[in-house]
Structure 1
């Protein structure tokens, strides 16, 4: 079974728990997720099966969308509602100040990841170090906020939607908004509504997946590998190249319209072959396969 299942992850399950669940229901060993979602968060978690695990790295780079609730006046060690309160503030800010502070985070920003995260430091996960009482000085990372839509602003809270790049921590965003306002902030709720082309409207709950597995109908909700590579331009090869391309042989190109070092979805004989890149070797433009999903002869 090769493809991607769009799972609606419930609160309380880790991303690894979901992988284990799918592995059991699909009776398949090769299963992986496309980017960790906090255990207490809910929402879209695409799961790759079989040969689709080869494209997990490409899916993890996709834009992600979230709905988040920010609470002001308190800071927790995990930057969300499940952590220990470590600081409080009585400062009151008005709705206009909250609105302006949230919108100031649009575009390219620097962000320090939370200590309670799955990032690694010297081979050990940060949350493991945090639980040991260790505090590592982390460097700020470049992330990008493509869009923020404020849904509602309360007395000392805000509900907003955010579209962001890979590596963005919404918990840290809430913490940083609190700092900009001269108070504290933490994430009270998080729902991931979209990862690339996979959105919440087509996501299946674990209960629905369990039911379909019992009926041997999991393939009905399995998206093909190339579906997830929607942002890669399509490259169609002449049928005569079929045997060579499925065996990873470089193809000499006479057409100069294709861009060098760009990744393409490669098709031959109306079949998705894999991911290819255009390279120049000995002054010749060649198509070299990076990932092949068809077994060679």
Structure 2
């Protein structure tokens, strides 16, 4: 029986217009009516995802930055925070810049960038992001100066001709950080040990819910760990094959009310189990 339902945002809960469909909203309202705990697990920063979390009235803490932060949207209480430490961040930034990536940092719920440029503007538009932006000149030097880690590094590659990360560079980065992707050839980088799956496990333990009673939905590589952790892991139809083959169920795409379809599948599954 599902007691905890966790959904990714971009490419899953949100359609291509960055909206939550009426069908998805109705299904989420049904979760609440049935007493199921539900929330969002996203790579986004807290302020960026907050309007959507409030819109669906989540009733559990929000998972942000791919699991680096677990925070309550109502009380603002932080239950978990595991940033990339300053030295590891500086090491990673140096490598990323050498191979041409735009580096975004997230500190104190601000987006930290060298300057506003085409790729930063693309990011803000693509994510429909109303985040506070702090231009600091050189993000590595800024990290050294303030002595604070970053919740996540989002490395933006060529937005017109995305390319996969070279395997040697990947191996070098993984000496200090955890590297994933949320699509488009761009990189999601966190502290080692941070993942949506580990955050979901932490959240389930907070509510004393066993993994067999957890359902998780996602559409990309950074969702893989929570899909694998959940007792019922669900992949969106728009997910890559690597995600689909790890899932227990493949729902419709984010532009065809895939979350509503997944929730209805959970309810049908529960009726079968109850018989």
State the TM-score, normalized to the length of structure 2.
Answer: 0.31
- Which structure dedicates a bigger proportion of its chain to helix? 2
Larger Rg: 1
- Which structure dedicates a bigger proportion of its chain to strand? 1
